[in-house]
Amino acid sequence: MDKIIIEGGQRLEGEVTISGAKNAALPIMASTLLADGTSALENIPDLLDIRTIANLLRRLGAEVDLSAGRAEINSNSVENLVAPYELVKTMRASVLVLGPLLTRFGKAQVSLPGGCAIGARPINLHLKGLTAMGAEINLEHGYVQAEAPLGLQGADIFFDLPTVTGTENLLMAAVLANGTTILRNAAREPEVADLANALTAMGAKIEGIGTDVLTIEGVKSLKAISYGVMSDRIEAATFMAAAGITGGRITIKQAPVSALTAVENKLKQTGLKFDHPGQDTIVVTGPSRINSVDIKTEPYPGFPTDMQAQFMAMMCFASGLSVITETIFDNRFIHVSELERMGADIRLSGNTAIVEGVPALLGAPVMATDLRASASLVLAGLAAKGQTEVSRVYHIDRGYERIEEKLSGLGARIRRIKA
């Protein structure tokens, strides 16, 4: 099992280019099931999750060619409508094939994704919405058995809670449904908007993109597209935090600037300085000492839960006390015990973490427990005294493309040890 070894204490400086957004690429790749012909997708990151959904699409019968930064997908030969457990269990986003398969082919059998290291994330809102659209849903032997023999019908659907994958699944189901579908209290994340823009390029009729009310008028068919996926806002924000935690200066290129407002505003309060010399370029300069700042995670456009762990790593070095409140997922503080191994002073109370900044963290062997937790441990290791050894880094490979190479290019003393 690979490990990442970090010799801390280096001030990071230089340029880094942000990769395509995994959380936009995955649903857009799934959406190619809706169209005839070969779709060419650009700015596709080379990540474990991308390879997983490519394998799932192949299992369904699609032809998938992955190359550097690009995916070509032809779904003309899709005949197998079963998404098996052995693939779905490795990545919850695999459930995104449910909506496209059901609306185009009239039936689908998709394994339930099961539990998750950062808490339960059930798909009941997906199934409730599909049922409202006329689908017949049965749960048998750990699988969602879904049929729509007469086709899906447009419906007025209200989400009890904003759900990103739920919004994406129902959005993809609605584009080929009969009539008009309205999704209310829909997720507003930029990755949802990117999917909607890709579907529009295919010929879908969608109004309200970027808002919490999406109106979709079903069409008879969609066409293949050439489309460039947006850049990854969480990767960009993680490199912002890397500049802050090391007191460095990093120029971040191909950054989705408009999607980073909430993170940038909070990081400014910690003492980081930002310049915007170009439309998709951000220059971030870290302070000599980080200020303590409170955060509360919220759905977009609030502070993203996917940056909570990285922000906590910064607060471990801050002057004073900070309060971090997690409102999106339960059990998303499992990185705390690993930060404490490095000398962090953190107290937990329910969904709140109280972080008292310390003068320094000390390098130690630590274990990654999920994707964003692993990023927080790498950040802590960059600023810690001595050597930090991060194990189980397959988690970080799910969402960060060549992170050790990018950090090394900024001056970090970091290397990967192959198992």
361/353 Cα distance (integer angstroms): 18
Instruction: Tokens for 147, please give them.
Output: 């049929």
> Residue 13: left if φ>0, alpha if ψ -120 to 50, beta else—which one?
beta
DSSP 222-266: EE--EEEPPB-HHHHHHHHHHHHHHT-EEEEES--GGGGHHHHHH
Active-site residue (options: 116, 139, 161, 348): 116
Q: Is 316 part of the annotated catalytic residue set?
A: no
170/339 Cα distance (integer angstroms): 39
Q: Is the torsion defined by CA of 87, 90, 16, 276 positive or negative? A: positive
Closest CA to 282 of 272, 274, 273: 274
Residue 327 identity: T
Please enumerate in sequence order all residues whose Cβ is within 8 A of that of 12, keeping only pairs 6 or more positions apart, or say none: 242, 243, 246, 248, 249, 250, 382, 407, 410, 411, 412
Q: Which SS3 state, helix, strand or coil, does residue 40 take?
A: strand
> Residue 157: left if φ>0, alpha if ψ -120 to 50, beta else—which one?
beta
126/336 Cα distance (integer angstroms): 32
* Cα 9 from chain centroid (whole Å): 29
364/390 Cα distance (integer angstroms): 8
Closest CA to 370 of 53, 142, 49: 49
Question: What CA–CA distances, in Å, run from 18 to 119, 126, 129?
Answer: 28, 31, 35
Q: Are 227 and 203 in contact (CB under 8 A)?
A: no
252/231 Cα distance (integer angstroms): 11
Catalytic residue set: 116
